Amino acid sequence: MSVTASLAETLPAEALDGNGDRWPWIVGTPEAVIHPASTEEVAATMRWAAGRAVGVAVVASGRRFLGARRLDRPFVILCTDRLTGVEIYEPADLTLTAKAGTPLTSLASTLGAHRQWLPFDPPHVDTRSLGGLVAAGDSGPLWMGFGELRNHILGSTVVTGDGRVVRLGGRVVKNVAGFDLLKPMIGSRGRLAVLTSVCVRAFPVPPVDRLLALRADSASALLPVARAVGTAPFLPVSSVLVSPAPLGATAALLVRLHGAEPTVEADQRTLERHCGVSFERAADVRTVAALARDHAADGELVLGVSTLPSRLPEVIVAMRETVGDVPLAIDTYRGAVRAVLSADQFQDVARLRARVEALGGALSARSTRRDVDASALSSAPSKAAGEITARLERVFDSSSVLWPSRA
């Protein structure tokens, strides 16, 4: 019996779609594309896959799927785009539970009616779903003021590799004693289980949202000021250095402040005294913030470099000497750099990775090209991290079904 015929006995017809061309960067041709509309249909799919040793690649939009790895067996794509809708929203408690495929733009409308929002701003957040955001584990520049995404995911319903439905966490902040099994799901990229529902903490919309800018001829020239921002008497909600800058400069440091008008005015004065500079105010905060958020996030090869903030000047020099003046987005408080390379620079990545690792950092790569194995370009995880991941995979995906599987 063919894969499609077998699935037709397990799932309703509307859940099946034979077209896998929507995700051209995924290596290989899927046997089928599945669009479940409920947790029960996801569980049925996983039980079916585990029983037939068929791999499952879980995607939302699929834009950030690290797919340059080929399974040595048939696989299907499980798309969460029909798992949509708000399940529970308690404005007074600042909590919202929605199905994993719900677009974040839809949640923004629901929350906005109550002057609430989700302060998570990774690249292209307006094209993402809630489950895709959690699976990727990306926080964006606003983590500086609001904390990591993982701190604001309160609960989730997941389906394991063998089809078990597991509910993790809850709908309150303090809901776990002992090892928190919810946290490994955040950033797991579909390696452990399929997210079908997520409970997230919301925040009040700030009265004033101000974006300050400082321009210069190079990113290196702005690093001392950026470091000073991180040692100010208060923390801004974000601080990101971009080159080339969306304001028409070679480079710009963009600092965002939230609060009541008197507080924001006082914070700007304090920041300028502390850093010894005068910032200009961006007239269109949303547009400039979105340009900075999405900067250096798209291309044939996107690199992420993490290092100690004190090592950023050396890392920037290493990048310039190895790959040239490429587009950069730098989170100076975290010590993270994102860069976009062109197709003819793949051979430079190994040399850059060696220099970054010599400085105590790590490099990760993501590529949209099917002939590039991004994982082979990235720094290897530590032995301890690898062991923990392997143990979690054995617990949640004992049949080794989920992609990237251990096949």
Predicted confidence (pLDDT) per residue in 303-348, tens digit: 999 999 999 999 999 999 999 999 999 999 999 999 999 878 888 9
CB 267 within 8 A of CB 305: no
The encoded tokens of residue 396 equal 């949640």
* Average confidence score pLDDT of the chain: 89
**Distance (Å, whole) CA 133 – CA 99:** 12
Give the global pTM: 0.90
pLDDT over 60 at 53, yes or no: yes
pLDDT over 80 at 21, yes or no: no
Rounded to 10 degrees, the C-alpha dihedral 150/81/71/64 comes to -50
CB 71 within 8 A of CB 54: no
Nearest to 21 by CA among 55, 49, 53, 62: 62
**Distance (Å, whole) CA 152 – CA 250:** 35
- Residues of 119-128 as b/e, b for ≥16 C-beta within 10 angstroms? bbbbbbbeeb
**Distance (Å, whole) CA 158 – CA 164:** 8
Which residue segments constitute the domains of the chain, with CATH numbers given? 3-82 (3.30.43.10), 86-204 (3.30.465.10), 208-292 (3.30.70.610), 301-372 (3.30.70.120)
The encoded tokens of residue 340 equal 């976009």
Token pair 């005015």 is found at 265
pLDDT tens, 74-117? 889 999 999 999 999 999 999 999 999 999 999 999 999 999 99
Opening angle at CA 68, ends 63 and 74, nearest 5: 100
Share of residues in the chain with pLDDT > 90 (%): 66
CB 74 within 8 A of CB 55: yes
CB 229 within 8 A of CB 236: yes
Nearest to 362 by CA among 378, 374, 345: 378
pLDDT over 70 at 1, yes or no: no
Residue 152 buriedness (CB in 10 A; 0-12 / 13-18 / 19+): buried
Q: What would the mean pLDDT of 227-245 be, rounded to a whole number?
A: 94
Nearby residues of 16 by Cβ (< 8 Å), 6 or more positions away: 4, 7, 8, 32, 33, 34, 35
User: How does residue 405 score in pLDDT terms, banded at 50, 70 and 90?
Assistant: very low
